[in-house]
């Protein structure tokens, strides 16, 4: 029996590897012939091979996590998160989105969302608690912006979501290692960025390189050829690639690495990364959908590179 199972698994592996190889050959042929039709077929095959598993969610929490992601994931409306309207155009011409295939953490806390009034009130209370007998320090921290809100640095340092406050302790409840969510786009298709496909595309882009190119000055001819390959595949997707440094970012942003629900599952916070910066978005459940009500960039780090 064990031998039979092994044979079946081996056969299945050969099928997968064979398909992967045929996809690699198809992409290479598409490039050599400059055929957009063949390139489209490559992505259509990919979309059929790895499909959404949202309908197979194991419990209500995971089911809601899929819905939160769908409400959050708006690559053509990135200004919801960053405030930069020009970023809305980054993926506007993409026909396919390279969607992440893993959700690292799902948390629960008592509360996720606070109104502006609640945030300011709790922040002031914490400042007064920390500097109980120091009026000078209280005055330094309790100041307001032109909109009548507490200044941002005070909220980030002493507000209800700050490390200083720690009102509610988060509880890790789950993670999803095979996360293939559906997306709310009629004119775009999702292809899920598995490690296998990441390697396939990197190999395609770096085919002009030789082993001796590593750690030495790369010939201009090699860089130009790699760049042409990048421009070709980007007829249907949008990637960030530097053929000289060999930096590659494939995933269609933003990348959500955690979702935190409140105890009533009325609000959720998504922590996200966008290449070299990150932040958080607050979503509210409205009917059966989750809608972004607040988003902001909270940090920058030029060493960050999340592809998967």
Q: Where are the beta strands (DSSP E) in 27-91?
A: none
Per-residue pLDDT band at 1 (split at 50, 70, 90): very low
d(C-alpha 105, C-alpha 268), whole Å: 13
Per-residue pLDDT band at 306 (split at 50, 70, 90): low
d(C-alpha 119, C-alpha 150), whole Å: 9
d(C-alpha 73, C-alpha 84), whole Å: 16
pTM here is 0.82
**DSSP secondary structure, 192-221, as one string:** E--HHHHHHHHHHHTTT--GGGTTSPPPHH
**The pLDDT of residue 20:** 62
**The pLDDT of residue 35:** 98
Q: What tens digit of pLDDT does each residue of 209-267 get?
A: 987 666 667 889 999 999 999 999 999 999 999 998 889 999 999 999 999 999 999 99
- Mean pLDDT confidence for 178-192: 96
d(C-alpha 253, C-alpha 193), whole Å: 12
Residues 6+ away with beta carbon under 8 Å from 258: 103, 104, 105, 106, 107, 270, 271
The token pair that represents 105 in the structure block:
């953490």
**The pLDDT of residue 49:** 95
Higher-scoring residue by pLDDT: 57, 83:
57
The token pair that represents 106 in the structure block:
């799902």
Higher-scoring residue by pLDDT: 161, 33:
33
Closest CA to 303 of 239, 256, 254, 249: 249
Q: What tens digit of pLDDT does each residue of 148-170 get?
A: 889 988 988 888 877 766 655 67
Closest CA to 254 of 280, 282, 273: 273
**DSSP secondary structure, 103-132, as one string:** EEEEEEES-----HHHHHHHHHHHHHHHTT
Q: What tens digit of pLDDT does each residue of 90-123 get?
A: 999 999 999 999 999 999 998 898 888 988 999 9
| Burial readout 37-64 (b: 16 or more C-beta within 10 A, e: otherwise) | ebbebbbeebeebbebbbeebeeeebeb
Which of helix, strand or coil describes residue 254? coil
Per-chain mean pLDDT for the chain:
87
Which of helix, strand or coil describes residue 230? helix
d(C-alpha 41, C-alpha 148), whole Å: 55
Residues 6+ away with beta carbon under 8 Å from 287: none
272 with 105: CB under 8 angstroms?
no
């Amino acid at each position: 029996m064990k031998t039979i199972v092994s044979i079946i698994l081996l056969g299945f592996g050969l099928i997968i590897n064979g398909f992967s190889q045929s996809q690699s050959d198809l992409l290479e042929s598409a490039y050599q012939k400059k055929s957009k039709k063949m390139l489209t077929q490559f992505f259509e095959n990919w979309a059929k091979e790895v499909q959404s598993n949202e309908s197979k969610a194991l419990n209500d929490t995971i089911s809601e996590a899929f819905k939160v992601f769908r409400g959050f994931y708006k690559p053509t409306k990135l200004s919801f998160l960053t405030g930069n309207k020009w970023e809305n155009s980054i993926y506007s011409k993409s026909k396919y989105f390279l969607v992440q295939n893993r959700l690292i953490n799902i948390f629960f806390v008592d509360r996720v969302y606070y109104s502006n009034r609640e945030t300011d009130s709790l922040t002031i209370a914490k400042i007064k608690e920390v500097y109980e007998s120091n009026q000078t320090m209280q005055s330094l921290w309790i100041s307001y912006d032109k909109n009548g809100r507490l200044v941002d640095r005070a909220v980030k340092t002493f507000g209800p979501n700050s490390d200083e406050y720690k009102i509610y302790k988060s509880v890790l409840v789950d993670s999803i290692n095979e996360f293939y969510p559906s997306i709310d786009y009629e004119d775009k298709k999702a292809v899920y960025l598995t490690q296998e496909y990441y390697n396939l595309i990197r190999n395609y882009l770096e085919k002009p390189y030789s082993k001796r190119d590593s750690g030495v000055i790369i010939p201009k001819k090699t860089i130009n050829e790699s760049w042409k390959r990048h421009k070709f595949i980007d007829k249907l997707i949008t990637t960030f690639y530097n053929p000289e440094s060999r930096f590659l970012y494939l995933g269609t942003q933003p990348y959500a690495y955690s979702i935190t629900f409140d105890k009533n599952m009325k609000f959720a916070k998504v922590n996200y990364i966008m290449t070299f910066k990150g932040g958080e978005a607050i979503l509210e459940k409205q009917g059966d959908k989750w809608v972004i009500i607040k988003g902001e960039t909270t940090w920058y780090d030029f060493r960050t590179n999340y592809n998967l």
